[in-house]
Amino acid sequence: MNSDTPDNAPQTAGLSGEASLALLRSIQLPVWVFAGGQLVFSSESADSVVLVIGRDLIESADVPVYLERQCVNATTSKRNGISEEISYYAAPPHNDITPLIGQLLRYDLPEGRVAVTLHPVPHSQPEVQPYLREAETTREEHEHQMALFAEYNPNPVLRFDSRGTILSANSNAIQAFGELSSRVKLADLLPQTSQLDLAYIINTGERLVVEHRIGLRHFDFLVRGVPELNAGHVYGTDISKRKQAEEAAQSECDKLSTMLSDIEEGVLLVDADHIAIETNSFFCRFFNIERGEIIGKDAYEVTELLAPRLLPRVKQLIEDFTRLALTEPYMIQRQYHDSEVLLRIKPIIHDNHYLGLVVNILDVTELVAARKLAESANQSKTQFLANMSHELRTPLTIINGFSEVLLEKAFGPLTEQQEHYLNQIQSSGQHLLAIISDLLDLARIESGRLELDIKDCDLGLVCREVMLMIEPRLRANVSLTHDLPEETITVQADFLRMKQVLLNLLSNAAKFTYEGHVNVCLRRTADAAELGVDDTGIGIAPEDLDRLFKPFEQVQEKTTSSTQGTGLGLALCREIVYAHHGRIEVSSTVNAGSSFRVILPATR
């Protein structure tokens, strides 16, 4: 090996940085200069070497390392006080390009710069023959490795030249594209590559990905150049499942968008990173804002833009949702300009993890106005009922009083017909008076003016007194039974109102029980007292249970028309029990009977 420095090597001793660059620029050799690991200069003749080495290596900071890694038998000498590292470099040959053989010299320049030059050596010189053989061996090994990779790769693999002609294809590529002729072009298989500079890709080792569909299968094809082999490779990856998942996800997104667009309320979706990811047209119209001003923005930014006063509350809610994985929505009704708005913020929680939230904006202006109108109408109705009931109650009381006096024969004897008529007058008057009393109670309850005389109430005494009142009303083949404990069960309640509740329940039982029995029961539980009425009457259909306690509803009218009533009794029972902080429950089977339970707290 000749380790002497070539005669045309640049003499840079004593020159400044700029002078050194000027000298290097003037020579007809491939020269690269680096400063701080970055390429700062290359000579025009270096472009010919680019074809061999590859532009991606020349333009990277790893050129000295790459070149020196390919060198063998490096020698070092001193010339004019400048360190010169000299070695031979052999680039692997391409299919149609003669390998480059030469001496690689490295110079330390002033100002911390490093220059690398390559001095070609004629291939005929005996000392370069080993490097040629080594380069050829390297190329063959590379091609063998690529062939093995292609053969055992489960995906399509193609090899093409700088003109785009397919050189080889593995079995999976043939299965995907079919049999390939010797003159088929890459653009025939992948039309997206027709506009690509394949020679440039091969020389630079550039990589790019194109998506292509073959039948029902979708592929991502990686097209990359292999400068060492003066060829390019295509690697296919089947992305059908991913594509199906993406299409399914897109379909769901389209469905969601369609659904949101049809909803007559504002919707805003926020992800776990607090970014607004979807909204609908109602939301944008309501706030007079463009969709682009919302999507992709931080939820805090959107809140500050639309409702600044809610920003502290929104921050606290998101913090609570994230940290505590809360599931209960936050709801608030506010005045927004001229509208009444109901705001609902609902977290999205899955497997105890916070995934985001849904914001609903509902314009309830009309509902609020309708509610106020209904409340006003209801108040007027209540006032009317109270006034009319009072006006009717006075004359009815007088009528009942006089009929009772006449029936006592205080003014002389009565004929049988007169006594019959007076009994009818008294019965009808008492019935009307009971209806008016119920209407008055309902009016008081609806207006919030029901007064209760709360004190110790003996429920056993309530039961006994009401049973005495109801027993004469039972039919002949119906018995009245009871299951009352010997102990006294006392609650805090209004004694007369409790009698009213039990009387209503027993009156209904007596009215709709034609044979069997009516039973009154009372028991104490751990924290409550339970008062019950059971009967063997006609029962109540399941579909009627929901309207059983509504005012003026009579569910029995489907099965019988022989009973009287206004449908106020059970409604009053429920409201009175609610006023005592209790509840009333019912179970029933058609043609088997009904059971009512009044549960009152042991203490208030």
DSSP one-letter string for 321-363: HHHH---SPEEEEEEETTEEEEEEEEEEEETTEEEEEEEEEEE
Are 263-357 and 368-446 the same fold in CATH?
no
What's the whole-model pTM score? Answer: 0.39
Q: Please state the domain extents for the chain.
A: 17-133, 153-238, 263-357, 368-446, 455-601
Integer Cα distance of 33 and 39 in angstroms: 6
pLDDT tens for 217-242 read 888 998 988 776 677 888 888 888 88
Residue given tokens 């489907």 in the structure block: 558
Q: In what helix (H) or strand (E) does residue 497 lie, and over which residues does it extend? A: helix 495-512
CA distance 255 to 310: 31
Give the pLDDT confidence score for residue 386 in this predicted structure: 66
In words, the CATH class of domain 153-238 is alpha beta
- Tokens representing residue 112 in the block: 């911390």
Nearest to 603 by CA among 492, 462, 529: 492
Place of tokens 């007809």: 28
Q: How far is CA 378 from CA 383, 449, 519, in A?
A: 8, 15, 38
Rounded Cα–Cα distance for residues 278 and 290 (Å): 12
The pLDDT of residue 89 is 44
Can you name the CATH fold of 17-133?
A: Beta-Lactamase (3.30.450)
Asked if residue 412 lies in contact with residue 375, where contact means CB atoms within 8 angstroms, the answer is no
**Which runs of consecutive H residues, i.e. helices, occur in 2-128?**
17-26, 46-53, 55-58, 63-69
**Tokens 């993406």 sit at which residue?**
246
Task: Show Cβ contacts of residue 128 under 8 Å, excluding neighbours closer than 6 positions.
Answer: 88, 90, 101, 121, 122
Strands 478-483 and 516-524: parallel
What is the topology classification, in CATH, of domain 455-601?
A: Heat Shock Protein 90 (3.30.565)
3-class state of residue 8 by DSSP: coil
Q: What are residue 119's DSSP bridge partners?
A: 103
Res 39: pLDDT = 66
Q: What is the pLDDT of residue 102?
A: 58
Q: What is the pLDDT of residue 121?
A: 60
> How would you write 126-142 as a 3-class SS string?
HHHHHHHHHHHHHHHHH
Q: Where are the beta strands (DSSP E) in 351-397?
A: 353-363
Residue 87: name the closest of 55, 121, 54 by CA.
121
Strand partners for 490: 458
Instruction: For 507-552, give the DSSP string.
Output: HHHHHH--SEEEEEEEEE-SSEEEEEEEE-SS---GGGGGGTTSTT
Query: Which run of H or E residues covers position 446?
Result: helix 416-446
Q: Please say whether the beta carbons of 526 and 598 come within 8 A.
A: no
The span from the CA of 2 to the CA of 75, in Å, is 10
Q: How confident is the model over 514-523, as pLDDT tens digits?
A: 999 999 999 9
Residues 243 and 259: beta-carbon distance below 8 Å: no
Low-confidence ranges of the chain (pLDDT < 50): 1-6, 8-15, 48, 50-99, 557, 561-562, 604
CATH number of this structure's domain 263-357 = 3.30.450.20
- Give residue-wise pLDDT tens across range 6-35: 454 444 444 455 655 565 555 566 676 766
> Which three-class secondary structure state does DSSP give residue 283?
helix
The CATH class of the 368-446 domain is mainly alpha
Cβ contact 404:360 at 8 Å:
no
Full DSSP string of 143-163: HHHHHHHHHH-SS-EEEE-TT
How many angstroms separate the CA atoms of 118 and 11, rounded?
15
What torsion do the CA atoms of 103, 108, 114, 118 make, to the nearest 10 degrees? Answer: -10
